[in-house]
Homo-oligomer: A and B are copies of this chain.
Amino acid sequence: MFEIFYLMKESAVKKIAVLTSGGDSPGMNAALRAVVRTANYYNIECYGVREGYNGLIHDDFLKMGPRSVKNIINQGGTILKSARSVEFRTPEGRQKAYNNCVKHGVDALVCIGGDGTFTGAKIFNEEFGIRVIGVPGTIDNDIFGTDNTIGYDTALNTAMEAIDKVRDTATSHNRVFFVEVMGRDAGFIALNSGLATGALDILIPEKKDSMEDLFANFRKAEKTGKASSIVVVAEGEKLGSIYDLANQTKEEFPDYDIRVTILGHIQRGGSPSCADRVLASRLGYGAVVGLMEGKTNVMAGMRSNDLVYTPIEEAIKKHNEINKDLLLISEILAI
């Protein structure tokens, strides 16, 4: 049936290359594995390109088969390595990259990464007509066209487990902790990890915060007898740096024992969660199948448990909205 269908029909691609680019995220290896094994299953040749677009430019291609991706589904990071390529931003760089694709007879690219990665893929496709398909691999979940990005669920659990630990100390010492989680432009990690750890307040770029509101929450907490508190702050919070927030709070509440913790890069690593491994497997598969069906300049995503393809342009321009209910709920539950 489904499967037979592809085996019979003529695939639009014969030889593909896959790369991981931008910030790494847990599950990139699982996506890579899915791309390589799906290609193999449908008799499509597959190259891995090292260090993102730099590998295209410097001809760092390696032939990949089913065994070259064994035992990586559970590993964080990416065995192909990743990089942000300055040279690929130049026409000369992209020309070199294209020449190498031609040289290896690669007729399509699977680009695993985030915004920047997709922008590069889009331009590359428009300039040289080579087929490209994107797979959303980033912990920030700031890509449109998929409910979750690969690595997001793992990062949520990493942040949550770290905050759970901080909370042991906060409770034991009646302290106030300001915890910064990743998310330059998106508050998804902060909002969900904050809700999951019973944070007193959650400060994210998408909502207008004020010190007055924060202070009000502290006062409310005092009334209800809450002895310790955690405030989760997204990296990109507009109200100020986490140190500013902590200092202003200390001025308002001199008695508070206030500490700052920045979770930092631990959020990018680690063995992917089950949800991320499954998502990565489905999207890696979906990318190859999409190319076989002749799709290009699109991103493979999962929405409501269905495989969908979104024009890359849309995926970059539009953004998943923060769920307003979650803000209200986190406020109600942090009593």
* Residues of chain A whose beta carbon lies under 8 Å from any beta carbon of chain B: 2-3, 20, 24, 26, 28, 33-34, 37-38, 40-41, 51, 66-67, 70-71, 73-78, 81-83, 147, 153, 156-160, 162, 164-169, 171-174, 177, 192-193, 195-198, 224-226, 259, 261-271, 273-275, 277-278, 281-282, 285, 303-305, 307, 323-326, 328-330, 332-333, 335
The answer to whether A271 touches B164 (Cβ under 8 A) is yes
Question: Which single residue of chain B is at the shortest CB-CB distance from A67?
Answer: B225
28 A–B pairs (Cβ distance < 8 Å), ordered by A: A2-B324, A2-B328, A38-B329, A38-B333, A41-B332, A51-B174, A73-B197, A76-B168, A77-B171, A77-B172, A78-B172, A81-B172, A81-B174, A82-B172, A83-B174, A147-B305, A156-B275, A160-B273, A160-B274, A165-B269, A166-B269, A168-B270, A192-B278, A195-B278, A196-B274, A263-B266, A281-B329, A282-B325
Taking the closest CB of chain B, its distance from the CB of A202, in whole angstroms, is 12
The answer to whether B224 touches A66 (Cβ under 8 A) is yes
Contact of A335 among B2, B66, B153, B323 (CB under 8 A): B66
The answer to whether B81 touches A173 (Cβ under 8 A) is yes
Question: Which single residue of chain B is at the shortest CB-CB distance from A34?
Answer: B333
